[in-house]
A and B are shown apart, each in its own frame.
Chain A
Amino acid sequence: MPDHTSRPVPKPDIYVPTQPFWQGAREGRLMLQYCRDTGRFQHHPRPVSIHNGRRNIEWREVSGNGFIYAFTVLRVPGPGIGGRLPLRIALVELDEKVRILGNVFGKEEDSPQIGRRVALAWDHLDGGIPYPAFRLVAEQEAAGATP
């Protein structure tokens, strides 16, 4: 039986080198792959730029600010969920024009909607390992002057 109560920490560097993502998380920074040739981000990480097929890629910090592109509430158990059902999952489009899947923190009555602004928050896997997530940004905060 799969363990549905824990939140195991994945092994990095299995598919492609990903240490900068995990090191950034430890420092509270969201690091994503960036194609230096085309000036575009991509996520999940790849062995080449999906934009031009070259390997002129680096890891860059992103703001973590963006909006909800798509949203769901998962209600069925599975590995890695760690007793968090119902679980709020969003596909977030960051201001850097790249999308990332993340869980959404916030009060239960504050239902996330497509287009709603979010900001980076930090979730924790087993052993306190930080993992990127998002929090809903208050309407006035989103409408106000840029920080």
Chain B
Amino acid sequence: MTRPEIVITGYAETKVAFRSGRSAYDIAGEVLADLLDRYGLEKADIDGLSVTLALSEASNPFFAVYMADALGLTPTWLNAGGIGGCSASGGVARACSAIRDGMCRIAVVLSADAPSTAWRSDYGAYRSEFQDPVGVQGPPAAFGLLMNRYDHQYGLDPEALGKIAITQRSHSLQNPNALDKFRKPLTMDEYLSSRMIADPLRVLDCVMFCDGGNAFLVMSETEARARGFGTYVRPAAYAEVTNYAGDQSCPDMTESGFWRIAPEVYRQSGLRPSEIAMFQPYDDFTIAVLMQMEAFGFCGRGEGSAFVRDTDLSVRGSLPLNTGGGQISAGQPGLASGGLNLAEAVRQLFGEAGERQIDAPRNALVTGIGTIPYGRNWGTSAAMILEV
């Protein structure tokens, strides 16, 4: 083969905490030390670093360089991941390219953020003039609009969204890294009676910004074998797209970039939707999960509500969904968010998911979403298929 195989040989993840009082640097330090301890590596072995830009440190354009300094690393390849919730899987994909190009041998893809302790992010641009006066400052109004439109075109069953929230909550009960507040069962009545935020968006459809971090160890399969790694997973496919439909003044709001990249990750991996062993989609809002089920072909377009109603999405089901609770029920560690879904996929494929471990996992589909543009759905869509 001309292309060397690149693999993920390890992961580390902190518990998600609300207002931890810690910085992204401190959280990153915990993640790095854990990663080195768990896999018996020395700091000097690491010559590649991908750092996800953090909401809590967003005012510093040299954040990735400062992170290398904070961690005492001297990378010959440094990547600053600015695609939000796509930065973890996107960082792994970029690390694969860098290793293939010989820019580094062992890369750490690290995400740490603490927005519930310190918010230093200002999106600026057009928002102050054209969104703020209307009251569309953040995700809730934008997703209320998206859900309203989706409902108009296809029909949206609140109980389907409730089932997503309840299933993921049942998974977070078995995830010791989930935010403690969310580690209690959720009922359909509780979901349906939860407060409306932006009709028809309920508070239990939403994530909550927290603090936390995660990291992944990426190297060639040759390097992994030489170093005695017996367990690793292979990124078999990756695709991303930014600013989908960005050249249209009136795009279909319900059509996301996932419709473009889903066929690409299936083509690269040679898998069909029915062969996906677990689905770890980016879950900032329940509607995003439902819309991705359609885009990735688990059901037809507009059939998401019926599919969710008719499918067992639990860890024992036919399509295990966000088996660690996802961000909605484990907490969103700022823009380290995409790494939460990815870490759960790697953990499951390593067979280390404890009581929520799915049987004989062969592969996992992980996705990312980054930012929300004016009057559309989301800015960046990313998807990765991992195989053992």
Binding site for B on A (CB under 8 A): 7-8, 10-12, 14-16, 18, 21, 40-45, 50-51, 69-76, 78-81, 84, 87, 89-91, 93, 97-103, 114, 123, 125, 131
Contact = CB atoms under 8 A, between A and B. Distances in A.
B148 interface: yes
Contacts of A43: 130, 249, 374
A101 B124 contact: no
Interface of B: 124-126, 128-138, 140-141, 144-149, 152, 195-199, 201, 246-250, 253, 374-375
Contacts of B124: 14-15
B128 A72 contact: no
A66 to B, nearest CB: 10
A91 B198 contact: no
Given A93-B250, A98-B250, A70 B146 contact: yes
Contacts of A78: 135, 137-138
B141 A74 contact: yes
B128 A11 contact: yes
B136 A89 contact: yes
14 contacts: A7-B133, A14-B128, A15-B125, A44-B130, A50-B247, A69-B149, A70-B253, A71-B145, A72-B141, A74-B198, A89-B144, A91-B145, A98-B250, A114-B152
Given A11-B129, A51-B249, A114-B148, 18 more contacts: A8-B132, A10-B133, A14-B129, A21-B129, A43-B130, A44-B129, A69-B253, A70-B145, A70-B152, A72-B144, A72-B145, A72-B147, A74-B135, A75-B198, A75-B199, A89-B141, A89-B198, A100-B375
Contacts of A50: 246-249
A114 B154 CA distance: 13
Contacts of A90: 145
Contact of A87 (B135, B195, B201, B249): B135
Contacts of B197: 74-76
B280 to A, nearest CB: 28
Nearest to A52: B247
Contacts, number: 123
A40 to B, nearest CB: 6
Contacts of B250: 69, 93, 97-99
A44 B126 contact: yes
Nearest to B195: A75
Contact of A72 (B129, B148, B152): B148
Which has the most chain B C-beta neighbours within 10 Å: A44, A69, A72, A97?
Answer: A72
A102 B129 CA distance: 12
5 nearest CB pairs, A to B: A72-B144, A70-B149, A70-B145, A80-B132, A44-B126
A74 B130 CA distance: 16
Contacts of A84: 135
A55 B197 CA distance: 39
A99 to B, nearest CB: 5
B135 A89 contact: yes
Contacts of B145: 70-72, 89-91
Contacts of A125: 133
Contacts of B133: 7, 10, 80, 123, 125, 131
A81 B148 contact: no
A125 B129 CA distance: 11
Contact of B134 (A14, A45, A51, A101): A101
Contacts of A99: 249-250, 375
B132 A15 contact: no
A97 B249 CA distance: 7
A37 B174 CA distance: 58
Contacts of B374: 43-44, 101
A136 B148 CA distance: 18
A80 B138 CA distance: 12
A42 B130 contact: no
A16 B145 CA distance: 26
Contact of A101 (B138, B149, B201, B375): B375
A72 B130 contact: no
Contacts of A123: 133
